[in-house]
Amino acid sequence: MVIVQQDLYKFYLRVQEVIMDLFTERLIYSYTIEEELKSYLGLVTNVEVMRYITSKPLEEIEGVERFAKILEINDEHNKLGIFSVYIRDHQVFAGISKVVPFEENVYEIGYSIYPEFWGSGYGTEISKKMVEIGRSIPGAKALVAIIDPNNIASRKILMKSGFSFYKKGDVYKLPAEYLKLNL
């Protein structure tokens, strides 16, 4: 019997889901891998998605460079990193999420999903899962999330997950709002 690449990928997702408990009621999270470059580029070149991140879509070359950094981050960290997010029932790529080191004993969470999934509760589901992962990190004292101050939906999602305003700053030379959750 010949197993096609798609079947192997579905098997890979299922193994991660079971072994690492990387799933929620409606979503599967998997460490982002090379084969997901096309899906990632679709996300970061989307005008609506990037409006609240860099204020404009990435050029493909910049997306490829960022994707290479994602793979490096995932190679460096055990149980942390950048996760691809899939709709569980359809195994459709919905976006990405992350739990990464921010500063000593503080970790950053984040997520981006395609606009067709906005307003569906997936953002809340992802945020809560990233908080769960963050809470499981030995020695972690806090989690931070960085948002565009105009992204009211993300602020509400993060506050539902226990975050509160921490400080103002900037990211990519754009205004940013930092939210924090003490653990």
Q: Which CATH number goes with the domain that contains 145?
A: 3.40.630.30
Dihedral of the alpha carbons of 74, 78, 80, 86, in degrees to the nearest 10:
70
32: left (phi over 0), alpha (psi -120 to 50) or beta: beta
Total structural domains within the chain? 1
Tens digit of pLDDT for each residue in 73-86? 988 877 789 999 99
Over 80: is that where the pLDDT of 21 sits? no
Q: Phi, psi at residue 138, to the nearest 5°?
A: -60, 130
What per-residue confidence (pLDDT) applies to 102?
95
Q: Which two tokens stand for residue 140?
A: 């972690």
Q: How far apart are CA 54 and CA 147, in angstroms?
A: 11
- Could you say which DSSP state residue 105 is in? T
Q: In the structure, what pLDDT confidence band is assigned to residue 87 with cuts at 50, 70 and 90?
A: very high
Q: What is the domain extent for residue 153?
A: 5-182
Q: In the structure, what pLDDT confidence band is assigned to residue 31 with cuts at 50, 70 and 90?
A: confident
Tens digit of pLDDT for each residue in 156-180? 999 999 999 999 998 878 899 999 9
